[in-house]
Amino acid sequence: MRVNYMILPFLLLFFSHASIADWAKKRASIMGTEVAVEVWHEDSAKAASAVDSVMQEMQRVDHLMSTHKETSALAKINRLASAGPVKVGAELFGLIDKSLKCSEKTHGAFDITYASVGYLYDYRHASRPQQSEVESALQAVDYRLISLDADKQTVTFKREGMRIDLGGIAKGYAVDQSIKILARQGIRHARVTAGGDTRVLGSRLGRPWTVGVRHPRASKKMVAVIPLMDEAISTSGDYERYFDESGIRYHHIINPETGDSAREVRSVSIIGPKAVMTDALSTSVFVLGVESGLELINSMDDYEAIIVDKSGSLHYSTGLEQFQSANEPEGSHNNLIPSLLASVN
């Protein structure tokens, strides 16, 4: 439809009063990914400063937990913890502890020590380790080799050559922190995204927020559009950081048992109340594959999953199964999940 430019200013004036003018939005590149924040408040100055405080929080978490920044607390652990206990702040200690609990729950599918072998891959330059290098690095992959002392707040690695990386959980954590900060500032409508991790606060002014799950092999297509209120969603895919070699895809989600990329599925989306959990669980289920992955998610009350397997078929956790009938035939992947997720949880 063509817009009549004569009436446009009047229309804008009409609609802007309650909704348009008061949404503050920003995008930035932080934590090696795109961060996007949208906030609504009657007072547009308040909305704008709330957005800025989220960006600051993302930067703060990145400085603490980045493996790429030499000065981060995490980099210090990786440099020193094989030689003896390294004292860390309560926040980082807490997230490492949470990561170990996820390892136990997923029987080691989620394992931050994957980094002991993971660092040998360079997706940007399409380079990967030889099988012999993978095998020797695997000796340092085992979450049980991390020793935490809660009284002294120290981390120790029990073996040489160990490294940890919080890339599978830190963005979700940062998103949760952001939502906490927004709620504390009196914000009731917001969406915060860091790469594949999103959490929404309230509604999008009376309507649910919608978050798309993209088709893993066609960046412009969606396999589902999920309506959400007060919930988080994380997607892990084999299309984010990867290279193909002789028809095999090497990507950034590593099976800690083999030291190679996990290849049972192409993408996993997890929906639930906390982004720190949806983030860790999307990585975990990616490693576990369809059967064990759904078994895990079906055993958890508040969490649901949508999986695209290696042949492109969709699989849902039990709380979403009623939507399966709404799906189009296999291959078309253009489903709209037509109802509020809150109503099926």
Residue nearest to Mg ion (CB): 283
Query: x-or-dash pattern for ligand ADP, window 307-336, by CB under 6 A?
Result: ------------------------------
Strands 154-157 and 86-87 come out as antiparallel
The interface with Mg ion within residues 231-290 (CB under 5 A) comprises: 236, 279, 282-283
Q: Which residues lie closer than 8 Å to 3 by C-beta, 6 or more apart?
A: none
Burial of residue 245 (CB within 10 Å: 0-12, 13-18, 19+) is exposed
The residue of the chain with the least Cβ separation from ligand ADP equals 167
Report the alpha-carbon angle 37-122-242, nearest 5.
60
Q: How far is the CB of 31 from ligand ADP (least distance, A)?
A: 9
Give the C-alpha separation, 112 to 164, whole Å.
5
**Partner that binds at residue 240, options Mg ion, ligand ADP, none, CB closer than 5 to 8 Å by kind:** ligand ADP
Window 217 to 236, contacts with ligand ADP (CB under 6 A): 236
Residue 176 makes contact with Mg ion by CB under 5 A: no
| Binding at 293: pick from Mg ion, ligand ADP, none (beta carbon under 5-8 Å per type) | none
**x-or-dash string of contact with ligand ADP, 271-310, rule CB under 6 A:** --------x--xx---x-----------------------
Q: Which of 110, 121, 157, 323 touches ligand ADP by CB under 6 A?
A: 110
How many binding residues for ligand ADP (CB under 6 A)?
A: 20
Q: Which is nearer to Mg ion, 159 or 249 (CB)?
A: 249
Nearer to ligand ADP, 187 or 297 (CB): 297
- Do 280 and 169 touch, CB atoms closer than 8 A? yes
Q: By CB under 6 A, tell whether 35 contacts ligand ADP.
A: no
x/- letters, 166..205, toward ligand ADP (CB under 6 A): -xx--x-----------------------xx---------
Q: How far is CA 87 from each of CA 77, 145, 245, rounded to the nearest angstrom?
A: 8, 17, 42
Q: Which of residues 151-170 bind Mg ion (CB under 5 A)?
A: 168
d(CA 297, CA 284): 10
Q: How far is the CB of 207 from ligand ADP (least distance, A)?
A: 27
The nearest distance, CB 114 to ligand ADP, in angstroms, is 4
**Binding interface with ligand ADP (CB under 6 A):** 110-112, 114, 165, 167-168, 171, 195-196, 236, 240, 252-254, 256, 279, 282-283, 287
